[in-house]
Amino acid sequence: MAKVIIIGAGGVGSVVAHKCAQLPEVFTDITLASRTVSKCEAIAASVLEKTGTQIKTAQIDADDVAALSDYLDAQKPFMVINVALPYQDLTIMDACLATGVHYLDTANYEPLDTAKFEYHWQWAYQDKFEQAGLTALLGSGFDPGATNVFTTYLKKHFFDTIESLDIIDVNGGNHGFAFATNFNPEINIREITADCRHYENGEVITTPAMSESREFTCPEGVGTYNIYRLYHEELESLNKNFPELKKLQFWMSFGDSYLKHLEVLQNVGMTGIEPVEFQGQQIVPIQFLAKLLPDPSTLGPRTKGKTCIGCLVKGTKDGAPKTYYCYQICDHEACFEEVGSQAISYTTGVPAMIGAKMLIEKHWLKPGVFNMEQNNPDPFMADLNQYGLPWQVIELDADFSLDS
Ligand code: NDP
Protein backbone atom coordinates (compact mmCIF):
# COMPACT_ATOMS: atom_id res chain seq x y z
CA MET A 1 0.00 0.00 0.00
CA ALA A 2 2.67 2.56 0.93
CA LYS A 3 6.38 3.24 0.94
CA VAL A 4 7.74 4.69 4.19
CA ILE A 5 11.10 6.02 5.30
CA ILE A 6 11.83 5.67 9.02
CA ILE A 7 14.50 8.17 10.15
CA GLY A 8 16.40 7.29 13.35
CA ALA A 9 17.86 3.89 14.22
CA GLY A 10 17.73 4.08 18.02
CA GLY A 11 15.58 2.17 20.49
CA VAL A 12 12.33 3.56 19.07
CA GLY A 13 13.40 3.28 15.41
CA SER A 14 14.10 -0.39 15.95
CA VAL A 15 10.58 -1.04 17.26
CA VAL A 16 8.97 0.98 14.44
CA ALA A 17 10.94 -1.02 11.86
CA HIS A 18 9.92 -4.37 13.40
CA LYS A 19 6.25 -3.39 13.78
CA CYS A 20 5.94 -1.96 10.24
CA ALA A 21 7.58 -5.12 8.88
CA GLN A 22 4.91 -7.19 10.66
CA LEU A 23 2.32 -5.54 8.35
CA PRO A 24 3.72 -5.96 4.83
CA GLU A 25 0.27 -5.41 3.31
CA VAL A 26 0.23 -1.83 4.71
CA PHE A 27 3.95 -0.99 4.68
CA THR A 28 4.90 -2.41 1.32
CA ASP A 29 8.32 -0.77 1.11
CA ILE A 30 10.29 0.14 4.26
CA THR A 31 13.62 1.95 4.52
CA LEU A 32 15.37 2.62 7.83
CA ALA A 33 17.65 5.65 7.41
CA SER A 34 19.88 7.18 10.07
CA ARG A 35 23.18 8.93 10.72
CA THR A 36 25.02 5.69 11.55
CA VAL A 37 24.11 3.18 8.86
CA SER A 38 25.62 0.21 10.76
CA LYS A 39 22.84 0.60 13.35
CA CYS A 40 20.25 0.45 10.53
CA GLU A 41 21.88 -2.69 9.15
CA ALA A 42 21.85 -4.44 12.54
CA ILE A 43 18.15 -3.62 12.97
CA ALA A 44 17.39 -4.77 9.39
CA ALA A 45 19.05 -8.12 10.16
CA SER A 46 16.89 -8.54 13.27
CA VAL A 47 13.74 -7.54 11.33
CA LEU A 48 14.54 -10.16 8.68
CA GLU A 49 15.13 -12.84 11.30
CA LYS A 50 12.00 -12.05 13.33
CA THR A 51 9.49 -11.19 10.57
CA GLY A 52 10.93 -12.57 7.33
CA THR A 53 10.64 -9.07 5.79
CA GLN A 54 13.64 -7.49 4.10
CA ILE A 55 13.83 -3.75 4.80
CA LYS A 56 16.24 -1.33 3.13
CA THR A 57 18.77 0.88 4.91
CA ALA A 58 20.34 4.25 4.13
CA GLN A 59 22.80 6.72 5.61
CA ILE A 60 21.20 10.14 6.15
CA ASP A 61 22.08 13.25 8.12
CA ALA A 62 18.65 14.73 8.81
CA ASP A 63 20.18 18.07 9.83
CA ASP A 64 21.04 18.63 6.16
CA VAL A 65 17.77 19.71 4.50
CA ALA A 66 19.20 19.80 0.97
CA ALA A 67 20.68 16.29 1.16
CA LEU A 68 17.55 14.90 2.81
CA SER A 69 15.33 16.58 0.18
CA ASP A 70 17.41 15.06 -2.64
CA TYR A 71 17.12 11.68 -0.99
CA LEU A 72 13.33 11.93 -0.50
CA ASP A 73 12.92 13.23 -4.04
CA ALA A 74 14.74 10.21 -5.41
CA GLN A 75 12.87 7.74 -3.18
CA LYS A 76 9.38 9.31 -3.40
CA PRO A 77 7.98 7.75 -0.20
CA PHE A 78 4.39 8.31 0.94
CA MET A 79 5.64 9.50 4.34
CA VAL A 80 8.54 9.90 6.75
CA ILE A 81 8.29 8.43 10.24
CA ASN A 82 10.66 10.66 12.21
CA VAL A 83 12.09 8.85 15.23
CA ALA A 84 15.44 10.64 15.26
CA LEU A 85 15.81 13.31 17.95
CA PRO A 86 13.54 16.34 18.51
CA TYR A 87 16.33 18.59 17.16
CA GLN A 88 15.67 17.18 13.67
CA ASP A 89 11.91 17.83 13.55
CA LEU A 90 12.02 21.11 11.61
CA THR A 91 14.66 20.06 9.09
CA ILE A 92 12.70 16.89 8.32
CA MET A 93 9.44 18.86 8.04
CA ASP A 94 11.19 21.25 5.62
CA ALA A 95 12.45 18.37 3.49
CA CYS A 96 8.98 16.76 3.48
CA LEU A 97 7.42 20.05 2.32
CA ALA A 98 10.03 20.42 -0.40
CA THR A 99 9.30 16.96 -1.78
CA GLY A 100 5.56 16.40 -1.17
CA VAL A 101 5.94 13.77 1.57
CA HIS A 102 3.66 13.31 4.63
CA TYR A 103 5.30 13.60 8.07
CA LEU A 104 4.96 11.99 11.53
CA ASP A 105 7.04 12.31 14.72
CA THR A 106 6.90 11.29 18.39
CA ALA A 107 8.38 14.32 20.18
CA ASN A 108 8.07 18.06 19.64
CA TYR A 109 10.88 20.22 18.32
CA GLU A 110 13.34 21.73 20.73
CA PRO A 111 16.40 23.77 19.91
CA LEU A 112 19.68 22.28 21.13
CA ASP A 113 20.46 25.24 23.37
CA THR A 114 17.09 25.63 25.15
CA ALA A 115 15.01 22.84 26.68
CA LYS A 116 11.60 24.36 25.95
CA PHE A 117 9.25 21.57 24.77
CA GLU A 118 6.84 23.92 23.00
CA TYR A 119 4.74 23.28 19.92
CA HIS A 120 4.78 26.78 18.42
CA TRP A 121 7.71 26.04 16.10
CA GLN A 122 5.84 23.14 14.52
CA TRP A 123 2.35 24.67 14.69
CA ALA A 124 3.82 27.54 12.62
CA TYR A 125 4.00 25.05 9.70
CA GLN A 126 0.18 24.75 9.61
CA ASP A 127 -0.34 26.93 6.52
CA LYS A 128 2.57 25.42 4.62
CA PHE A 129 1.37 21.84 5.13
CA GLU A 130 -2.23 22.82 4.41
CA GLN A 131 -1.31 24.59 1.18
CA ALA A 132 0.88 21.66 0.12
CA GLY A 133 -1.99 19.22 0.78
CA LEU A 134 0.24 17.29 3.21
CA THR A 135 -0.35 15.92 6.71
CA ALA A 136 2.06 16.40 9.61
CA LEU A 137 1.02 14.25 12.58
CA LEU A 138 2.79 15.38 15.76
CA GLY A 139 3.57 13.30 18.83
CA SER A 140 2.54 9.79 17.75
CA GLY A 141 4.31 7.91 20.55
CA PHE A 142 2.79 6.87 23.88
CA ASP A 143 3.09 10.09 25.85
CA PRO A 144 2.59 12.20 23.81
CA GLY A 145 0.56 10.00 21.52
CA ALA A 146 -1.65 7.28 22.96
CA THR A 147 -2.34 9.49 26.01
CA ASN A 148 -3.77 12.23 23.74
CA VAL A 149 -5.96 9.66 22.00
CA PHE A 150 -7.07 8.15 25.35
CA THR A 151 -8.28 11.62 26.37
CA THR A 152 -10.29 12.08 23.16
CA TYR A 153 -11.67 8.55 23.43
CA LEU A 154 -12.82 9.04 27.03
CA LYS A 155 -14.44 12.35 26.14
CA LYS A 156 -16.17 10.86 23.10
CA HIS A 157 -17.57 7.72 24.74
CA PHE A 158 -17.87 8.39 28.48
CA PHE A 159 -18.46 12.08 29.16
CA ASP A 160 -20.55 15.09 28.19
CA THR A 161 -17.96 17.46 29.61
CA ILE A 162 -14.46 16.87 30.99
CA GLU A 163 -12.98 18.94 33.79
CA SER A 164 -9.60 17.53 34.79
CA LEU A 165 -6.93 15.29 33.29
CA ASP A 166 -4.06 13.56 35.07
CA ILE A 167 -1.68 11.62 32.83
CA ILE A 168 0.13 9.02 34.93
CA ASP A 169 3.23 7.31 33.54
CA VAL A 170 4.49 4.47 35.73
CA ASN A 171 7.49 2.39 34.79
CA GLY A 172 7.63 -0.51 37.23
CA GLY A 173 10.52 -2.05 35.28
CA ASN A 174 13.96 -2.72 36.71
CA HIS A 175 17.09 -2.92 34.53
CA GLY A 176 19.50 -3.50 37.42
CA PHE A 177 21.63 -0.40 36.74
CA ALA A 178 21.94 2.20 39.53
CA PHE A 179 21.20 4.91 36.96
CA ALA A 180 20.13 4.62 33.33
CA THR A 181 17.45 6.23 31.17
CA ASN A 182 14.91 4.28 29.15
CA PHE A 183 15.17 6.49 26.10
CA ASN A 184 17.75 8.93 24.76
CA PRO A 185 19.52 10.11 27.97
CA GLU A 186 19.99 13.71 26.83
CA ILE A 187 16.33 14.21 25.89
CA ASN A 188 15.14 12.31 28.97
CA ILE A 189 17.22 14.31 31.47
CA ARG A 190 16.41 17.65 29.80
CA GLU A 191 12.71 16.77 30.17
CA ILE A 192 12.90 15.68 33.80
CA THR A 193 15.04 18.53 35.07
CA ALA A 194 13.00 21.27 33.34
CA ASP A 195 10.71 23.42 35.51
CA CYS A 196 7.35 21.75 36.09
CA ARG A 197 4.45 23.41 34.29
CA HIS A 198 0.83 22.40 34.59
CA TYR A 199 -2.39 24.09 33.56
CA GLU A 200 -5.16 25.46 35.75
CA ASN A 201 -8.06 27.40 34.23
CA GLY A 202 -6.05 28.01 31.07
CA GLU A 203 -3.10 29.46 32.99
CA VAL A 204 0.36 27.89 33.07
CA ILE A 205 1.49 27.31 36.67
CA THR A 206 5.26 26.88 37.10
CA THR A 207 6.75 25.02 40.07
CA PRO A 208 10.18 23.45 40.67
CA ALA A 209 10.75 20.12 38.90
CA MET A 210 9.55 17.12 40.94
CA SER A 211 8.38 19.29 43.85
CA GLU A 212 4.95 17.58 44.00
CA SER A 213 4.56 13.85 44.46
CA ARG A 214 1.80 11.35 45.18
CA GLU A 215 1.48 7.62 45.73
CA PHE A 216 -0.40 5.78 42.99
CA THR A 217 -1.56 2.18 42.92
CA CYS A 218 -1.69 0.77 39.39
CA PRO A 219 -4.40 -1.73 38.47
CA GLU A 220 -3.88 -5.46 37.81
CA GLY A 221 -1.22 -5.84 40.50
CA VAL A 222 1.45 -3.73 38.77
CA GLY A 223 2.12 -2.16 42.18
CA THR A 224 2.18 1.10 44.12
CA TYR A 225 4.66 3.79 43.08
CA ASN A 226 5.70 7.31 43.97
CA ILE A 227 4.78 9.58 41.07
CA TYR A 228 6.20 13.09 40.56
CA ARG A 229 4.62 16.00 38.73
CA LEU A 230 6.50 17.04 35.59
CA TYR A 231 5.91 19.14 32.53
CA HIS A 232 5.17 17.02 29.49
CA GLU A 233 4.58 18.37 26.02
CA GLU A 234 1.11 16.92 25.42
CA LEU A 235 -0.29 19.17 28.16
CA GLU A 236 0.14 22.16 25.82
CA SER A 237 -1.80 20.70 22.91
CA LEU A 238 -4.46 19.11 25.12
CA ASN A 239 -4.99 22.42 26.90
CA LYS A 240 -5.46 24.09 23.52
CA ASN A 241 -7.70 21.42 22.02
CA PHE A 242 -9.82 20.80 25.16
CA PRO A 243 -10.38 24.32 26.51
CA GLU A 244 -13.09 22.90 28.81
CA LEU A 245 -10.36 21.18 30.91
CA LYS A 246 -9.83 23.21 34.08
CA LYS A 247 -6.75 21.31 35.26
CA LEU A 248 -4.13 19.27 33.36
CA GLN A 249 -1.20 17.55 35.08
CA PHE A 250 1.39 14.94 34.15
CA TRP A 251 2.98 12.50 36.63
CA MET A 252 5.84 10.05 36.24
CA SER A 253 7.20 7.38 38.59
CA PHE A 254 10.86 7.32 39.64
CA GLY A 255 12.75 4.96 41.92
CA ASP A 256 14.82 6.24 44.86
CA SER A 257 18.13 5.29 43.22
CA TYR A 258 17.29 7.24 40.05
CA LEU A 259 16.31 10.33 42.05
CA LYS A 260 19.42 10.15 44.25
CA HIS A 261 21.74 9.98 41.22
CA LEU A 262 19.86 12.71 39.36
CA GLU A 263 20.09 15.05 42.35
CA VAL A 264 23.84 14.58 42.65
CA LEU A 265 24.39 14.96 38.90
CA GLN A 266 22.35 18.18 38.91
CA ASN A 267 24.16 19.53 41.96
CA VAL A 268 27.56 19.04 40.36
CA GLY A 269 26.46 20.54 37.03
CA MET A 270 26.51 17.36 34.95
CA THR A 271 23.01 17.94 33.54
CA GLY A 272 23.84 21.41 32.17
CA ILE A 273 23.16 22.17 28.49
CA GLU A 274 25.56 25.12 28.19
CA PRO A 275 29.02 24.30 26.74
CA VAL A 276 31.93 24.32 29.21
CA GLU A 277 35.56 24.83 28.15
CA PHE A 278 37.68 21.83 29.18
CA GLN A 279 41.30 21.39 28.11
CA GLY A 280 40.81 23.58 25.07
CA GLN A 281 37.57 21.86 24.03
CA GLN A 282 33.91 22.90 24.33
CA ILE A 283 32.02 20.17 26.18
CA VAL A 284 28.27 20.15 26.89
CA PRO A 285 27.97 18.39 30.29
CA ILE A 286 24.69 16.58 29.52
CA GLN A 287 26.09 15.27 26.21
CA PHE A 288 29.18 13.94 28.00
CA LEU A 289 26.95 12.35 30.65
CA ALA A 290 24.81 10.74 27.94
CA LYS A 291 27.97 9.19 26.49
CA LEU A 292 28.79 7.56 29.84
CA LEU A 293 25.32 6.17 30.55
CA PRO A 294 24.10 2.81 29.24
CA ASP A 295 22.68 2.99 25.72
CA PRO A 296 18.89 2.61 26.22
CA SER A 297 18.72 0.13 23.35
CA THR A 298 20.92 -2.25 25.42
CA LEU A 299 18.48 -2.33 28.36
CA GLY A 300 16.08 -4.75 26.65
CA PRO A 301 17.60 -8.06 27.78
CA ARG A 302 18.02 -6.82 31.40
CA THR A 303 14.67 -5.16 32.07
CA LYS A 304 11.95 -6.97 34.00
CA GLY A 305 8.57 -5.68 35.16
CA LYS A 306 5.74 -3.67 33.64
CA THR A 307 4.80 -0.18 32.57
CA CYS A 308 1.36 1.25 33.26
CA ILE A 309 0.55 4.51 31.47
CA GLY A 310 -2.88 6.05 31.47
CA CYS A 311 -5.21 9.01 31.69
CA LEU A 312 -7.42 9.78 34.68
CA VAL A 313 -10.26 12.02 33.59
CA LYS A 314 -12.96 13.63 35.70
CA GLY A 315 -16.09 15.23 34.29
CA THR A 316 -19.83 14.78 33.99
CA LYS A 317 -22.25 12.53 32.16
CA ASP A 318 -26.01 13.25 32.13
CA GLY A 319 -25.42 15.77 34.89
CA ALA A 320 -23.65 13.31 37.24
CA PRO A 321 -19.97 13.55 38.21
CA LYS A 322 -17.85 10.73 36.76
CA THR A 323 -14.22 9.56 36.93
CA TYR A 324 -12.71 7.19 34.37
CA TYR A 325 -9.21 5.82 33.99
CA CYS A 326 -7.97 4.55 30.62
CA TYR A 327 -4.68 2.68 30.88
CA GLN A 328 -2.30 0.33 29.13
CA ILE A 329 -0.01 -2.19 30.82
CA CYS A 330 3.05 -3.43 28.96
CA ASP A 331 5.51 -6.14 30.00
CA HIS A 332 9.22 -5.39 29.37
CA GLU A 333 10.18 -9.03 28.89
CA ALA A 334 7.32 -9.74 26.47
CA CYS A 335 8.43 -6.75 24.35
CA PHE A 336 11.99 -8.01 24.30
CA GLU A 337 10.79 -11.44 23.25
CA GLU A 338 8.76 -9.96 20.36
CA VAL A 339 11.03 -7.25 18.93
CA GLY A 340 14.24 -7.23 21.01
CA SER A 341 13.46 -3.95 22.87
CA GLN A 342 12.28 -2.89 26.33
CA ALA A 343 8.77 -1.55 26.91
CA ILE A 344 9.59 2.19 26.75
CA SER A 345 10.81 1.89 23.17
CA TYR A 346 7.97 -0.54 22.42
CA THR A 347 5.20 1.67 23.79
CA THR A 348 6.58 4.54 21.68
CA GLY A 349 7.25 2.60 18.49
CA VAL A 350 3.89 0.83 18.26
CA PRO A 351 1.83 4.08 18.29
CA ALA A 352 4.28 5.54 15.73
CA MET A 353 3.55 2.58 13.43
CA ILE A 354 -0.21 2.91 14.06
CA GLY A 355 -0.13 6.69 13.45
CA ALA A 356 1.53 6.02 10.11
CA LYS A 357 -1.12 3.38 9.37
CA MET A 358 -3.82 5.97 10.17
CA LEU A 359 -2.41 8.22 7.42
CA ILE A 360 -1.82 5.43 4.91
CA GLU A 361 -5.37 4.08 5.37
CA LYS A 362 -6.68 7.67 5.13
CA HIS A 363 -8.41 7.62 8.54
CA TRP A 364 -6.43 10.69 9.59
CA LEU A 365 -5.09 11.99 6.26
CA LYS A 366 -5.95 15.70 5.93
CA PRO A 367 -3.90 18.77 4.98
CA GLY A 368 -2.26 20.57 7.89
CA VAL A 369 -0.36 20.03 11.12
CA PHE A 370 -2.25 17.98 13.72
CA ASN A 371 -1.84 16.71 17.25
CA MET A 372 -3.15 13.25 17.95
CA GLU A 373 -6.27 14.35 19.84
CA GLN A 374 -7.59 16.19 16.77
CA ASN A 375 -8.50 12.90 15.08
CA ASN A 376 -11.22 10.27 15.47
CA PRO A 377 -9.78 8.07 18.26
CA ASP A 378 -11.68 4.88 17.36
CA PRO A 379 -9.53 3.32 14.58
CA PHE A 380 -6.33 4.11 16.52
CA MET A 381 -7.71 2.58 19.74
CA ALA A 382 -8.78 -0.54 17.83
CA ASP A 383 -5.27 -0.88 16.38
CA LEU A 384 -3.62 -0.49 19.80
CA ASN A 385 -5.60 -3.54 20.88
CA GLN A 386 -4.68 -5.45 17.76
CA TYR A 387 -0.97 -4.62 17.48
CA GLY A 388 0.45 -5.13 20.95
CA LEU A 389 -0.81 -2.43 23.31
CA PRO A 390 -4.20 -3.58 24.66
CA TRP A 391 -5.87 -1.02 26.94
CA GLN A 392 -8.71 -0.89 29.46
CA VAL A 393 -11.17 1.73 30.68
CA ILE A 394 -12.38 1.48 34.28
CA GLU A 395 -14.80 3.65 36.20
CA LEU A 396 -13.52 4.89 39.57
CA ASP A 397 -15.47 6.46 42.42
CA ALA A 398 -16.65 9.83 41.17
CA ASP A 399 -14.81 11.56 44.02
CA PHE A 400 -11.53 9.66 43.46
CA SER A 401 -8.63 12.06 43.27
CA LEU A 402 -4.84 11.77 43.33
CA ASP A 403 -5.01 14.18 46.27
CA SER A 404 -7.32 12.00 48.37
P1 NDP B 1 18.06 7.16 20.38
O2 NDP B 1 19.05 8.16 20.84
O3 NDP B 1 18.16 5.75 20.83
O4 NDP B 1 18.00 7.16 18.78
C5 NDP B 1 18.01 8.32 18.02
C6 NDP B 1 18.44 7.95 16.62
O7 NDP B 1 18.38 9.14 15.81
C8 NDP B 1 19.89 7.44 16.55
O9 NDP B 1 19.91 6.34 15.69
C10 NDP B 1 20.63 8.63 15.97
O11 NDP B 1 21.74 8.31 15.18
C12 NDP B 1 19.58 9.21 15.06
N13 NDP B 1 19.92 10.59 14.73
C14 NDP B 1 20.29 11.58 15.58
N15 NDP B 1 20.59 12.68 14.89
C16 NDP B 1 20.40 12.39 13.59
C17 NDP B 1 20.55 13.11 12.39
N18 NDP B 1 20.97 14.38 12.37
N19 NDP B 1 20.28 12.48 11.22
C20 NDP B 1 19.88 11.20 11.21
N21 NDP B 1 19.71 10.45 12.30
C22 NDP B 1 19.98 11.05 13.48
O23 NDP B 1 16.62 7.77 20.77
P24 NDP B 1 15.27 6.94 21.06
O25 NDP B 1 15.09 5.91 20.00
O26 NDP B 1 15.23 6.58 22.48
O27 NDP B 1 14.19 8.11 20.83
C28 NDP B 1 13.81 8.51 19.52
C29 NDP B 1 12.77 9.61 19.60
O30 NDP B 1 11.61 9.13 20.28
C31 NDP B 1 13.23 10.85 20.38
O32 NDP B 1 12.79 12.00 19.69
C33 NDP B 1 12.49 10.74 21.69
O34 NDP B 1 12.26 12.00 22.28
C35 NDP B 1 11.18 10.10 21.23
N36 NDP B 1 10.44 9.42 22.29
C37 NDP B 1 9.09 9.64 22.38
C38 NDP B 1 8.36 9.03 23.36
C39 NDP B 1 6.87 9.18 23.38
O40 NDP B 1 6.20 8.42 24.10
N41 NDP B 1 6.27 10.08 22.65
C42 NDP B 1 8.97 8.17 24.39
C43 NDP B 1 10.37 7.90 24.15
C44 NDP B 1 11.08 8.55 23.15
P45 NDP B 1 23.16 7.87 15.80
O46 NDP B 1 22.96 6.43 16.06
O47 NDP B 1 24.16 8.18 14.77
O48 NDP B 1 23.34 8.69 17.07
Determine if ligand 1 sits within 6 Å of the CB of residue 272: no
**Crossing angle, helix 11-21 and helix 343-360, to 10 degrees?**
50
| Ligand 1 center from residue 180 Cα (angstroms) | 16
Q: What is the pLDDT of residue 187?
A: 86
What average pLDDT does the structure give for the chain? 96
Atom of ligand 1 nearest to the CA of 91: 18
Does 10 sit in the ligand 1 pocket, CB within 6 Å? yes
**Predicted local distance difference test score (pLDDT) of residue 53:** 97
Question: pLDDT for 199-212, tens place per residue?
Answer: 999 899 999 988 99
CATH 3.40.50.720 in the chain is located at 2-138
- For ligand 1, atom 32: residue with the closest CA: 85
Rounded mean pLDDT, 305-314: 98
Q: Is the CB of 108 under 6 A from ligand 1?
A: no
Range list for CATH 3.30.360.10 in the chain: 146-341+390-396
pLDDT-derived band at 404 (thresholds 50, 70, 90) equals low
What is the reported pTM? 0.96
Mutate to test the pocket of ligand 1, among 7, 31, 34 (most ligand atoms within 8 A of CB): 34
The pLDDT score that the predictor gives to residue 23 is: 98
Atom of ligand 1 nearest to the CA of 143: 40
Q: What is the pLDDT of residue 112?
A: 82
Confidence of residue 153 (pLDDT cuts 50, 70, 90): very high
With the most atoms of ligand 1 within 8 angstroms of its CB, the residue from 82, 106, 330 to mutate is 106
CB 35 less than 6 A from any atom of ligand 1: yes
Whether pLDDT at 115 is above 80: no
Q: What percent of the chain has pLDDT over 90?
A: 90
Give the class (CATH, top level) of 146-341+390-396. Answer: alpha beta
User: pLDDT digits over 83-110, tens only?
Assistant: 999 999 999 999 999 999 999 999 999 8
Residue 183 pLDDT level (bands cut at 50, 70, 90)? confident
Which of 85, 238, 309, 344 to probe ligand 1 with, by most ligand atoms within 8 A of CB? Answer: 85
* pLDDT the model gives residue 367: 98
Indicate if ligand 1 lies below 6 Å from the C-beta of 297. yes
Class of domain 2-138 as given by CATH: alpha beta
Answer yes or no: is pLDDT of 117 > 90.
no
Tell me the residue type at 368: G
Q: How confident is the model at residue 190 (pLDDT cuts 50, 70, 90)?
A: confident
Q: Cβ atoms within 10 A of the Cβ of 73, count? A: 13
Cα(238) to ligand 1 centroid in Å equals 24
- How confident is the model over 253-304, as pLDDT tens digits? 998 899 899 999 999 999 998 999 999 999 999 999 999 999 888 888 999 9
**How far away, in angstroms, is 299 Cα from ligand 1 center?**
15
* pLDDT above 90 for 188: no
Is 115 near ligand 1, meaning CB less than 6 Å away? no
Distance 86 CA to ligand 1 centre (A): 8
Query: Is residue 237 over pLDDT 80?
Result: yes
Give the pLDDT of residue 114: 73
